Amino acid sequence: MAERRTTSLKDVAKEAGVSVTTVSRFLNGKLDLPDSTKKRIESSIARLEYEPNPHARRLSRGQTDTIGLVVPDIANPFFGTLVAAVEEAADSRGLAVTLYATLNRADRELAYLSRIERNHVDGLVFVTNHPDNGDLAALINRTGKVVVVDEDVPLATVPKLFCDNENGGFQVGRHLAEFGHQRVLYIGGPEEMISTQRRYKGLERALQQDFGDRAVIDRYVGAYTIEFGREAARRFIADNQPATAIFAASDEIAIGLIEVFRESGISIPADVSVIGFDDVGPLHLFGPPLTAIRQPVRALGQRALSLLMDTDWQRDAPIASEELLPVEIVVRDSVAPPAKK
């Protein structure tokens, strides 16, 4: 038995005695017709059991009702939580999300950005985790409809959304100062990234506010990874533990650090105090539970979607803005007064 042929827009137009364009514009709400014509089209749709193709209708409006989300790594709990928040916010608006994981590679980021130019998505929430040589910014500025989240692309003139990294560093410094730590080691990501710079700046400001020239801050910078946390811990041990407290500027760094300390018999906080940043992973289950700055990751994802959808992208001038979301310190048991040597 032959399958029933799907009714087309052309069939409806022929049945109603009007053009295909008239039916299309009527369905898209872009045409005001006499009541008699409206009734003929509606009757034809009902008789022929025509079901409009929503994808085709969206494309006819120059929209896909799909946004793109570019992240470095979906295995990282921080980015996984961010993805979930964007998905929920998009669903509440009837939007779909296409996810692109870049493996933190610039070539993949550039490829995904170019999809906007080909109208595959209506806009991008864009997250990178490495410095830009200018290529990303140039493509972002050319394509538009991009919101940069979490880390900066410095020359991009689009809305940007970050947590308040400097205030987070300041809260770390204040907490350590309250326990009497004057010599602190900062372990951060790449030197060029704003999160690395601002978290360090806040830490420095807080310690100098309490101790002035007596404050000493050593710095190891490299990557927000578990492996770099391990490398930093080994270096700390090789340098004869040059600080009484450590600010590990991501959950991943903190995990690598703690692994090596545990293997080496270094006790937290008896031998050295440690504070983390992000608080997305189960830091409360560590031994001891880790004090950390908590980023509002879900709020970042939700606000990013709002910025993307509510920004007036039709303006002639480039849209450049920076919005900061607040962070908070979650105090647990990984900080104590400096060990007496």
Q: How far apart are the first and last CA of the chain?
A: 90
- pLDDT for 28: 66
Between 33 and 206, residue with greater pLDDT: 206
Tell me the per-residue pLDDT of 219-259, one tens digit each, with 9 for 90 and over: 999 999 999 999 999 999 999 998 999 999 999 999 999 99
CA distance 295 to 202: 15
Q: Which amino acid is at 286?
A: F
DSSP sequence for 169-198: HHHHHHHHHHTT--EEEEEES-TTSHHHHH
Most confident of 54-63, 135-144, 325-334: 325-334
The residue assigned the tokens 């340098």 is: 239
CA distance 35 to 50: 20
Tell me the per-residue pLDDT of 112-143, one tens digit each, with 9 for 90 and over: 888 776 667 888 999 998 899 999 999 998 88
Q: Which residues are CB-neighbours of 212 under 8 A, at least 6 positions away?
A: none
Provide the pLDDT confidence category of residue 341 given band limits of 50, 70 and 90: low
Between 137 and 341, residue with greater pLDDT: 137
In Å, how far are 161, 163, 187, 272, 276 from 197, measured between CA atoms? 16, 13, 11, 23, 16
Reading the block at residue 339, the tokens are 């060990």
